[in-house]
A = this chain, B = another copy of it.
Amino acid sequence: MSEEGQQSISSRDLAELLGANPWQIRKDFSYFGGFGTPGVGYKVEKLAKQINKILKLDVIHKAALVGVGNLGSVVLAYPGFRIYGFDIAAAFDTDSKKIGRKINNVMIEDASNLWMLKRRKIYIAIIAVPRDTAQETADALVKAGVKGILNFSPCYITAPRKVKVITIDIAMDLARLPYYMPAS
């Protein structure tokens, strides 16, 4: 909207766009202080900035990818991270055939060098390794000072409470569909 020159938006329009209702929008924003203008609505640009601040997306985050297989390569090639302020600054693999090569301008490094992440101030990692090495990868990442992990391996991962782990299992997401579908 900002790019399209729209100045402001009302809670009603925003609600319709999101499939919610206006009260919810206003109440939710009010919990963070309320940043609208009565009679006008929410200034689009200001709103976006506030939301980014709330979600801590107001700074560039460096992230590391571990596992440059099929899925890992897709992640490296994915252009969508930039709009949220992410920079895939490193990639790791155990396969010596891959180490040293570059994908999308990112050099693939030896996975035994994960400990260097702390020195490089990278606190976010994406795990895209086979299921049976996911936990040990996570352990290494935690040891390297990583504070947030996005896990693509289809398994639960244990980590200290202060490390946030989000697991994405595309099969599980697919499995959510039948429940909502009318009787087939």
Contact = CB atoms under 8 A, between A and B. Distances in A.
Contacts of A177: 124, 148-150, 164, 166
A80 interface: yes
Contacts of A173: 150, 166, 168
Interface of A: 54-57, 61, 63, 70-71, 73-75, 77-78, 80-81, 83-84, 86, 123-124, 126, 147-150, 154, 162, 164, 166, 168-182, 184
Nearest to A19: B156
Nearest to A84: B175
A177 B75 CA distance: 16
Contacts of A70: 70, 73-74, 77
Contacts of A162: 182
A84 B170 CA distance: 11
Contact of A174 (B124, B171, B182, B184): B124
Contacts of A80: 154, 169-171
Contact of A84 (B63, B83, B172, B181): B172
A118 B62 CA distance: 45
5 contacts: A55-B178, A83-B171, A124-B177, A148-B181, A162-B182
B170 A78 contact: yes
A128 to B, nearest CB: 10
B178 A57 contact: yes
B148 A56 contact: no
In the complex, the 7 A-B pairs of residues with the closest C-beta atoms, listed nearest first: A148-B177, A80-B171, A164-B180, A56-B178, A84-B175, A147-B181, A80-B154
A83 to B, nearest CB: 7
